[in-house]
Structure 1
């Protein structure tokens, strides 16, 4: 079950990344064209927020079952010096949690600015920071520090 959940988490990240990029492209476009923030834009933020929260729940389930996390917390003084357990037991979850909490908070705050141009500027500035936090915390296949495959296989052994 862990490997299937891990594969789903890895696959689901692409939906998250696509939605984040669509959202930033929309807000950047609206910023340069000086358009107002509409209810449709807010709905896109809510959908993106929901998808991020689903990914967070999957991540929490993985965190609770991961052997790397157990290794880190069983002998913290020694394993905190090891890159993989530290990244997956401490850095990745804390940075992703921070990014998702910030996204939720600013999505909630921007709802009061619907039909204004201030909402676009307000959210875009914060969203760029959130996007950097999230993208820098993903274990990419090209990362020399914590490389993982971009796509994982599903292991359907319990059918």
Structure 2
């Protein structure tokens, strides 16, 4: 089960990055062009939230069953000094939970705005901050923190 969930989690990260990027671009365009906030804009925003929350759910399940995290928690004094173990045991989950909370709160705050310009502005700011956190906390192949392949196999 762990390898399959890990592969799914790796695949969904692309959906998170793409949906969040689309939502951010859409929000900035709406904000700077002073567009009316339409159902399409709400749908784009909602898709980004739901994909991020799905990824978070899978990530939490992985965190609970991960052998890397198990090692981190049971050998904390030694593991905290090991870059890769610390990244997955502490840093990755902390940053990703923070980002998903920002996305969720940003979406909620924007829905309460009565002005279309404020809705776009709120989404643009909150989602951009979350995107930067997510992008910096994904274990890309080029990451100096720790690296993983761009796509994982399902076996």
**Range into which the TM-score falls when normalised by the shorter chain:** over 0.9
**Following the alignment from structure 2 to structure 1, what is the Cα–Cα distance between the partners of residues 12 and 114?**
29
The alpha carbon displacement at 1:50 in A equals: 1.0
Give CA-to-partner distance per residue, 1:59-111, whole Å, 9 cap, x none.
01110111110111111111101011100010000110010011111111111
How do 1:1-159 residues align onto structure 2 when only pairs under 5 Å count?
1-113=1-113, 116-155=116-155
The answer to whether the Cα contact below 8 Å between 1:72 and 1:80 also exists between their aligned partners in 2 is yes
- Residues 120-141 of structure 1, C-alpha deviations (whole Å, 9 max, x = no match): 1222122221111111110001
Query: For the residues of structure 2 that align with 1:149 and 1:11, how far apart are their CA atoms?
Result: 11
Distance in 2 between the 1:22 and 1:6 partners? 25
Distance 2:123 2:144 in 1: 32
- Separation in 2 of the partners of 1:114 and 1:89? 41
Count residues in correspondence: 155
CA contact (8 A) 1:68 1:84 kept: no
- CA drift at 1:44: 1.7
Shift of 1:35: 1.2
Runs of 4+ in 1 over 4 A off after TM superposition: none
Residue pair 1:36, 1:115 contacting (<8 A) in 2 also = no
TM-score if structure 1 supplies the norm length?
A: 0.92
Alpha-carbon shift at residue 115 of structure 1 (Å): 5.5
Normalised TM-score (structure 2): 0.94
**Whole-Å separation in 1 of the counterparts to 2:53 and 2:84:** 24
Q: Which runs of 5+ in 2 are unaligned?
A: none
